[in-house]
Chain A
Amino acid sequence: MRISRRQLLGSTVLALGSRVREALCTPLWKWTSTPVLNAATLPGPAEQSPVVYVDVAKEAGLTLPNVWGGVQKKKYLVEVKGSGLAFFDYDNDGWLDIYLTNGMRFGESYTRQTAPTSHLYKNNRDGTFTDVTAHSGLARTGWATGVSVGDYDNDGWDDLFCTFWGQNILFHNNGDGTFTDVTVKAGLQADRLRWGSGCTWLDYDLDGRLDLFVCNYVELDIEHVPLPGQRPTCQWKGVPIACGPLGLPGGMNILYHNNGDGTFTDVSEKAGILKPGPRNSLQPVAYDFDNDGWPDIYVAADSTGSLLFQNKHDGTFEEIGLRAGVACSDDGRQQAGMGVGVGDYDGDGWFDIFKTNFEGDACNLYHNNQDGTFTDQAYVAGVGGLCPYVNWGAGFVDYDNDGWPDIIYVTGHAYPEIANAGIGSFYKSPRKAYRNLGNGKFQDTSAQLGPGISQLYASRGCAFGDYDNDGDIDILVLNMNDPPSLLRNDGGNRNNWIKIKLQGVRCNRTAIGARVYITVGKRTQMDEVHSGGSFMSQSDLRLHFGLGQARVVDAIEVLWPTTHKREQFTGIAANQILTIKEESGILSPVRRS
């Protein structure tokens, strides 16, 4: 017996009566139907958590709404994907500042005064920020998508690389609160329009200078791409939406080698980066996944296989994503990979990968098998239910400082057109949080973490960092066409913690790629300094470790890249921010309680 679904559901498509007449004359996306579902699942009464996230963006002075394409409707894919932001300390005062990307709107004309720009906010060290964009040199108008931070010239000031749908920009930090666009001088000028997405600084050849990996999403030529509704299939559940990424040519990623003289050379081909061919790459992360002391690169890709470039130690990479089990779902389906977080969630000394995907799919939790392969443990670990939201920026964050990295990610649908379409999809949706139970499993705590987590936005990038230096991890979220959220962690510091800023000397100054092991009793945690991540965003470069009730860290071990030397420090008091300089030890600890 072969029963078609049509047979099963009946064959009648059209009906009479005012309601159905309306249906016949009204495009599907304009139908009115009885709402049986709320706009989004709001948290009900929940167990009290010791940690709550509260959105303090307004009080902090972060009130400017993001500008990114149409608010209700979007014509082109670039309006859909959104962008990222950064927590970084541009003035080296020990307090995280904020960089917010911004976009434009098609069909709107701007004056110099009204044009939306990216923004730089200086941390006032009192919970508020001051917009210092005007004099910073960062006020650029355009489709600024991704951002990553690293001191490419080792002058002690972290520089900013920003991707665009357009020309990417390398902003050199002048150390006086201003930045200079050195893109052309650095040899990073593109010869054509490209859609830069996520990016990351890394020292892939361990020469002590930061190289740069840049993702390109798709080739988007708005003169030739079909418009929503122009093709019957440019739709999502019957609602016309911007076409792509499928059907559009994928982008080719770029690896730039730092020549050490302020310039870069495109080594993508020589290094094997072009070998996998075009992909819809969104976010790269560079970590030493195979513990061989050399940074590898994982790239989350949308609707194409994600990539894992294994560092071959000779300036080349081999793409092993499929064989390693991190390219697609566990049944070979290419997923809509968006954001990436990396952490050692089970404390086995090997980095695992968390990747967010589209609505109706599950996120991936690729557990590192320690043999060059990974197994998607999302379901086993309790983070793998089919998600009703489209998911973006993500990270492993020990939000309650219990010593186990938890998972937090932000959500929001790609297409605003679906908001009132009655198709069971939500444009604005809440954030998700999963608490690491320390046994390889996670518990969904989204409903317990307060209004900052449950509030509804169409979010994209997010960055994690301790902006108020109070010892717990706060979250900065980019909300499409809304002001950002600054989610202050209240209560995370009831447990003890330690935060470490590394300063490279032989290795790159930002110490990207340096690994820190923290041992308390029998338990050891680890993390690596990394640039870029989440979704086209930059998180705090300082490494943060929760210590539970421990008041002393038994041992801190730093494994520096370039030299591969280890430095160890013992008996370190909890609740302080340490700066450790390569070959010089601990500098000026700042105790906080």
Chain B
Amino acid sequence: MYTHSRKRIGLGVWSMLAAVVLGCTLSMPGAGWAQQLGNIELLKQAQAFVDAQNYPAAESIYRQLLASNPDNPEALKRLGILEQTNMKLDESIEHFKRILLKQPEYSQVNFFLGLSYYGKHDFPSAIASLQREAKTPTAHLATQYYLALALEAINRMDEAIEQLNVAATRNPKKAEVFYELARLHISASFHAIDQLRKIDPDSFQYHAFMGEFYSQAGQNEGAISEFQKALKKDPNGQGIHSHLGVAYYLVNQFDSAEKEFHLALQEWPDEPYANLYLGRMAVHDHDYKKALPFLLSAVETHVEEDYVRVLLGRCYIGLGQLDEAKADLIIATKLDPDDPRTHFLLAEIYQKLNQSDDRERELALYNKLLDIQKAKEASDPGAVTAPATENNP
């Protein structure tokens, strides 16, 4: 942790220093115009030394500025940052505090003070400084990120995650933020699952969780095993049958899948996946009368609605209700304009309606979308390997 902290502080300072130069030069107090211009030049010069990693030369300039004005906040801040960079954390803290004594909200000083405390592993002080910084109107963009790190360091995980979520909103492309967020979630999961296992490694909850875990990982055999164990522990355990049905379906055990989906519907008649899969299986069996009520129920939940509309379209075509089929397929084209199959099915409807021009148009669209798909695949060799199947539509 210590090594990481040093590295983070160094990186943080370097990336931020350039950004504050301009703001600092425009807000220098307590000097005449000519002197101010002179100070700006000196600060520029110092920054050039910092950029060239000539830290002694930069420090010499800051000290020259402080000699003429010992309370020059910008010179103090920069000197503190320089000291922080050189891991002289106590000195940097002293300088940051001197600024805050007179100007408690001086731009981003609380942030750098927090970083110095963080570097010293004084996490409560770091948290306090960073929290003060967060309240200022010019809070540094990385405030929540470092606040989260400090909170994490003293095991205040929920607050850390909360801060990282704020940071993620403000820095949506910052990999470090999402890296930490992912780490903390893993960590939290580890903790919770370990606890779950310690309580009872053969509990309903543990098996249910492991079933979901295997499902997510595509390990459907493992998922089936765990869900079965969960149901053995608690035959009335809610929410398992649908998951188990999906797992059975994905290993092509369709009879078992169907049984589980029906059990899921006994628990909750609107269970979206049970309805979707039962409808889907019935459509595949060309049993459209059987499929229709399931699909109508599934479409109400809007779960995977584009696919459900396609299934409804197929269903209505099979039942000869072409207007209904057309309506659902047109909605499906709007929900997923890139799916060629909807146009194929629309073409089939127009063929049945003897509307040859419409059919040709839809077939042309179907071919065009297929070509686009192929072009995408060709531009990324190996991007897709799985053949399109009923299970992999």
Contact = CB atoms under 8 A, between A and B. Distances in A.
Contacts of A9: 212, 215-216, 243
A359 B190 CA distance: 36
Given A1-B301, A247-B378, A12 B389 contact: no
Given A247-B378, A388-B252, A360 B392 contact: yes
Interface string A1-14: 11101101110111
B13 to A, nearest CB: 34
A2 B252 CA distance: 27
B189 interface: yes
A348 B387 CA distance: 34
Contact of B389 (A244, A335, A424): A335
A572 interface: no
- The B interface, classified by DSSP as helix, strand, loop or mixed, is helix
Nearest to B243: A9
Interface stretch (A28-36, A132-140, A437-445, A485-493): A28-36
Contact of A332 (B186, B341, B390): B341
A332 B243 contact: no
B390 A362 contact: yes
Nearest to B376: A247
A15 interface: yes
A93 to B, nearest CB: 43
Interface string B284-319: 111000000000000001111100001000100000
Given A9-B215, A15-B209, A34-B222, A236 B386 contact: yes
B389 A241 contact: no
Contacts, number: 216
B305 to A, nearest CB: 8
A267 B213 CA distance: 56
Given A332-B343, A423-B219, A233 B225 contact: no
- The A interface, classified by DSSP as helix, strand, loop or mixed, is loop
Contacts of A248: 381-382
B252 A360 contact: yes
Contacts of B301: 1-3
Nearest to B220: A424
B209 A10 contact: yes
B345 interface: yes
Contact of A244 (B213, B302, B370, B385): B385
B336 interface: no
Interface stretch (A16-24, A451-459, A496-504, A545-553): A16-24
A238 interface: yes
Contact of B189 (A16, A36, A226, A328): A16
A12 B215 CA distance: 11
B344 A331 contact: yes
B2 to A, nearest CB: 25
Contact of A362 (B215, B228, B284): B284
B152 interface: no
A178 interface: no
Contact of A331 (B242, B345, B384): B345
B356 to A, nearest CB: 11
A31 B388 CA distance: 26
A386 B193 CA distance: 37
A155 B380 CA distance: 50
A15 B214 contact: no
Counting chain A CB atoms within 10 Å of each CB, the highest count among B189, B363, B389, B392 belongs to: B389
Nearest to B247: A424
Contacts of A329: 390
Interface string B49-67: 0000000000000000000
Contacts of B392: 360
Contact of B390 (A10, A226, A386): A386
Nearest to A35: B221
Contacts of A20: 193, 213
A444 to B, nearest CB: 14
A241 B385 CA distance: 8
A36 B378 CA distance: 39
Nearest to A302: B387
Interface string B196-214: 0100010000000110111
Contacts of B305: 2
B366 interface: yes
A334 B343 CA distance: 13
Interface string B331-346: 0000000001111110
Closest 6 pairs between A and B when the two form their complex, measured CB to CB: A332-B344, A424-B251, A360-B391, A33-B222, A336-B387, A388-B252
Given A15-B210, A17-B201, A33-B219, 7 more contacts: A12-B189, A12-B209, A12-B212, A15-B213, A16-B194, A234-B382, A241-B385
Interface of A: 1-3, 5-6, 8-10, 12-17, 19-20, 23, 28, 31, 33-37, 224-226, 230-231, 233-238, 241-244, 246-249, 302-305, 322-323, 328-336, 357-362, 379-380, 384-388, 422-425
Interface of B: 186, 189-191, 193-194, 197, 201, 209-210, 212-222, 224-225, 228, 242-243, 250-254, 272-273, 284-286, 301-305, 310, 314, 340-345, 363, 366-367, 370, 374, 377-378, 380-393
12 contacts: A5-B304, A23-B213, A36-B224, A226-B382, A230-B382, A246-B386, A247-B381, A331-B341, A335-B388, A386-B254, A423-B218, A424-B251
